[in-house]
């Protein structure tokens, strides 16, 4: 049968992990006329390195390509969602998640966001939380939000009222 993109990634990683052709691409030119906003993050390329851990697992890395990013409203979201995707894919194929490299062609902060960004930069910082997945889940499609484990998450007050225009 025909594979969808994620099925192909999982199949290839399990059978030919060192291939340089393991990727997804969500930029569909035929559908752009139906979109209010063209896709920003559009492709992931997977790369396996043989720096095996003591348990013998290979390391899965990912390169995320993004054409444009509103840093204030999207950066944290994009980094978190693709880091989690990398973790899920790695666990599904018996590997350990390695590096996420995030390439952004046009990262920008809008003039109307500058004061908010300055406020955020001036705030106290916290240690990063520990993020893991339920180790019992090995089927990519079986993960649920309950399988995401976040420990020691600390944060400041939420920023609200960010002006968004497309």
Instruction: Encode pLDDT of 10-22 as tens digits.
Output: 999 999 999 999 9
What is the Cα–Cα distance from 90 to 35, expressed in whole angstroms? 31
> Which residue out of 6, 40, 117, 148 is catalytically annotated?
40
pTM: 0.91
Mean predicted lDDT score pLDDT of the chain: 93
- In the prediction, which pLDDT does 15 show? 96
| Residue among 48, 45, 2 nearest 25 (CA) | 45
Active-site residue flag, 44: no
């Amino acid at each position: 049968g025909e594979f969808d993109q994620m099925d192909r990634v999982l199949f290839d990683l399990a059978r030919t992990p060192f291939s340089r052709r393991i990727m997804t691409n969500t930029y569909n030119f035929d559908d752009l006329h139906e979109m209010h906003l063209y896709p920003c993050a559009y492709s992931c390329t997977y790369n396996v390195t043989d720096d095996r851990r003591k348990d013998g697992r290979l390391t899965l890395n990912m390169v995320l390509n993004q054409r444009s990013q509103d840093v204030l409203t999207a950066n944290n979201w994009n980094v978190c969602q693709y880091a989690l995707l990398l973790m899920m894919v790695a666990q599904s194929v018996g590997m350990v998640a390695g590096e996420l490299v995030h390439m952004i062609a046009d990262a920008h902060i809008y003039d109307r966001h500058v004061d908010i960004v300055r406020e955020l930069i001036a705030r106290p910082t916290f240690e990063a939380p520990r993020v893991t997945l339920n180790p019992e889940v090995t089927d990519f499609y079986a993960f649920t939000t309950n399988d995401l484990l976040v420990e020691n998450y600390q944060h400041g007050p939420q920023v609200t009222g960010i002006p968004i225009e497309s």
